[in-house]
Amino acid sequence: MILTAFFAALGQMTDPRFRRVLLLGVALTLALLIAASTGFVWLLGSLVGDQTTLPFIGEVTWLNDLVSWGSALLLAVLSVFLMIPVASAITSMFLDTVAQAVEDEHYPHLPAPMPVPFVDALRDTVNFLGVLIAANILALLLYIVLIATVALAPAAPFVFWGLNGFLLGREYFTLTAIRRVGRAEAKLLRSRHTGTIWIAGVLMAIPLTIPILNLIIPILGAATFTHLFHLLAPQAPRD
């Protein structure tokens, strides 16, 4: 079922509406990461100041540059790590466009979906982004422990994929289902098919670790979960 949904979504990747969401998602993701990086570096630089007095050394003027370059390097590494939740969350804000393109192509007999107000979609996106980032930051500590313990190091990527797969599957399926059956029924369907949704989310999370490809996968995931919803609940009534 998951593979059926995936290949159906893959066959529609040339859809102009998919490309529009991709370009918007990439632009917003890069803008957000650049703004966050610039703000973080500026904040650290302003806290350190142009001149700092260190014990036993005295007044130094190079600490500001060291902090700025060090924080920039740290953010460059973290940006790769944070690209996954940021790109996924921003794409979820445009999920309705992807889902509608899928339904126009594969399910033209369906009535118009229930409109999701922009404010609700924005709130869901912000909440999703917050949960993804918070969960991954907390999990980062676990990854460090696993990697430091040589025998457990191979488990780190599986923990990463399992965590993000659960969160991605949960959110994307819910947002897709809300359009057709409402929020309450969407949660019931999600709990009824937790295993399938989690596996589909993990299959989405694995390629998200590959640079460049991780910008395309959220759109492919949104399309896949649209198909998956219709396969799991083809006769689901609207609220």
For residue 173, the tally of other CB atoms under 10 A from its CB is: 27
pLDDT band at 54 (very low <50, low <70, confident <90, very high): very low
Is 92's pLDDT higher than 60?
yes
pLDDT digit string (tens) for 11-30? 888 899 988 888 887 788 77
Is 205's pLDDT higher than 80?
yes
pLDDT band at 65 (very low <50, low <70, confident <90, very high): low
228 or 46, greater pLDDT:
228
The predicted pLDDT at position 199 comes to 94
pLDDT digit string (tens) for 134-186? 887 787 777 777 777 877 778 878 888 898 899 889 989 998 998 898 888 99
The predicted pLDDT at position 80 comes to 57
pLDDT band at 56 (very low <50, low <70, confident <90, very high): very low
Is 64's pLDDT higher than 60?
no
Contacts (Cβ under 8 Å, ≥6 apart) of 230: 106, 107
Q: What's the distance, Cα to Cα, between the start and end of the chain in Å?
A: 26
Strands (E) in the chain, as ranges, are 52-54, 58-60
For residue 59, the tally of other CB atoms under 10 A from its CB is: 9
Strands (E) in 102-176, as ranges, are none
